[in-house]
Structure 1
Amino acid sequence: MLDDFLVRAGLAAVGLSLATGPLGSFVVWRRMAYFGDATAHAAVLGVALALATDLPIGIGTLTVALAMAVTVAGLSARGWAMDTTLGVLAHSALAFGLVAVSFFPAVRTDLSSYLFGDILAVSRPDLALVWAGSLAVLALMAWRWQRLLTATLSEDLAHAAGINPDRERLVLTIALALVVAVALKIVGALLIAAMLIIPAATARSLARTPEAMALLAIAVGALSGLGGLALSLWQDTPTGPSIIVIAATLFALSTAWRRA
């Protein structure tokens, strides 16, 4: 029989993939990798905010991640040079977060869990948060799917169809902030963007339609989570990075398969 903490960890990995699959597809299509990095790195600052105000970690993380995502989306809409801007914001948010967390001595020894995740320590309330957040993101993606696809394909086409691209960008912003808050406990702030991008990039090599790519990305994400958990238990490696190692391996195999 599997231990209870292993069951919770496996369910958390599968639950997270429900959100990262479809959202990661849009991150890949829109080339928003750095956008995801900036939002994810801000999560550490959210941890510091939560500790300073005695708020739940999830609330602090969601607040700061959403603020960062809205800021980045606003700058993008105004035509800023986003590669440099996102680089500055991502690393500045991470640095400010690390410095702020250092003022709480009790957290210093546990900082790696916020940076790289600690899926084996997921509790029942954490698991409920993961599934609730992931299902909310999945429902949001399903609701706005066609509009998001049209706005991603062409903003001019979206305007012609009566769709506001800025509104759809805001939908992705909110979804991304939710995923960051949900994924912090599982893969950590430094690896959230990888969990969004790699399964979606793997699915793109195999899928023929946008819907198939999103579904395959969910499957690859779930397989990566369970495989990383197994690798961590087998070789006693850090669980968060192990999940990304499995995801990267699946990406390499899918690329080789397509070329063959």
Structure 2
Amino acid sequence: MLDDFMVRAALAGIGVAVAAAPLGCFVVWRRMAYFGDATAHAAILGVALSLAFSMSIFIGTMVVALLMALTVSVLSGRGYAMDTLLGVLAHSALAFGLVAVSFLSGVRIDLMAYLFGDILAVSRGDLAVIWGGAALVVLLIGWRWSALLTSTLNEDLAHASGLDPKREQLVLTLALAITVAVAIKVVGVLLIAAMLIIPAAAARPLSRTPEGMALAAGAIGTLSAIVGLRAAYVLDTPAGPSIVCVAALTFLATSVIKSARPAA
């Protein structure tokens, strides 16, 4: 069954949706969209370093994404507006990554595949990495779910409950780095943030509880992956962007449904 490239692509898309769903909810609740975007942009530098040192792309992108996220956390609140800091770091990391790739002599690299994803080229080994990373993210978020919700709701309440909001932020940072590393093959650096944010935002009008929103986001992400791949196959369009387009249309649909509901 896994010899069929479309089956492997669908499984890869579902794996990314599973990883991105619970994490994307916290990105939306904490208004961390630019934070996720900056971490994703840094991944291309991780790709360059991985190729330069002949190491795993997954390890390289995860390490660089984690370093980017930690850098943002350390520098925030030190006289820079958060959006300015994220803009500088995100675009600088992307630019340095692209320049670093150009210095790799003797290494053939399809840069477009890393920028926009190449889900149709996913191998069995890639599937193992994607689903292993997705399982790790789900376990990590599930383990700290209550603590993460409390610190997201109110930091003072978290302190009163004996929780450390900075530690919970670190958990999210680690989960974000893992998600970026597993998603780069599927949707690429430029679309990872979209798969984090759009399914979660689309699920919000349909949900009454945080757990319900996470499950709905996972379902929407999975549906987007399957329908987007089918649309790409039929219409001969890029697979990664097609998946994001389906997610965006789903967000539009749930927004219309929310607007059509009578006010309570």
TM, length-normalised to structure 1? 0.97
Correspondence for 2:28: 28
Correspondence for 2:40: 40
Q: Which amino acid aligns with 1:36?
A: G
1:75-95: CA deviations, max 9, x gaps? 236574211000000000000
CA gap of 1:144–1:77, structure 2 versus 1, over 3 A, is farther
Q: Which amino acid aligns with 1:111?
A: L
Deviates more, 1:76-85 or 1:23-32: 76-85
**Distance (whole Å) between structure 1 residues aligned to residue 63 and residue 257 of structure 2:** 41
**Distance (whole Å) between structure 2 residues aligned to residue 56 and residue 140 of structure 1:** 22
Correspondence for 1:85: 85
Identity of aligned residues (%): 66
CA RMSD, Structure 1 to Structure 2 (Å): 1.5
Superposition deviation, residue 231 in structure 1:
1.0
Deviates more, 1:112-121 or 1:13-22: 13-22
Q: Which amino acid aligns with 2:90?
A: A
Correspondence for 1:50: 50
**Distance (whole Å) between structure 2 residues aligned to residue 190 and residue 235 of structure 1:** 22
Correspondence for 2:144: 144
**Distance (whole Å) between structure 2 residues aligned to residue 216 and residue 192 of structure 1:** 19
Q: Is the 8 A contact 1:8 1:127 kept in 2?
A: yes
**Distance (whole Å) between structure 2 residues aligned to residue 79 and residue 23 of structure 1:** 28
What secondary structure, in the 3-state scheme, does the structure 1 residue paired with 2:184 have? helix
Unaligned runs of 5+ in 1: none
What secondary structure, in the 3-state scheme, does the structure 2 residue paired with 1:128 have? helix
What secondary structure, in the 3-state scheme, does the structure 2 residue paired with 1:191 have? helix
Superposition deviation, residue 255 in structure 1:
0.5
Correspondence for 1:254: 254
Superposition deviation, residue 104 in structure 1:
2.6
Q: Number of paired residues?
A: 260
Correspondence for 1:117: 117
Q: Is the 8 A contact 1:73 1:173 kept in 2?
A: no
CA gap of 1:3–1:54, structure 2 versus 1, over 3 A, is closer
Unaligned runs of 5+ in 2: none
Correspondence for 1:206: 206
Aligned pairs (5 A) from 1:150-165: 150-165=150-165
Q: Is the 8 A contact 1:102 1:108 kept in 2?
A: no
Correspondence for 1:171: 171
Aligned pairs (5 A) from 1:233-244: 233-244=233-244
Deviates more, 1:122-131 or 1:69-78: 69-78
Superposition deviation, residue 3 in structure 1:
6.2
1:17-68: CA deviations, max 9, x gaps? 1110000000000000110011000000001001110111111111111111
TM, length-normalised to structure 2? 0.95
Q: Is the 8 A contact 1:43 1:65 kept in 2?
A: yes
**Distance (whole Å) between structure 2 residues aligned to residue 74 and residue 19 of structure 1:** 25
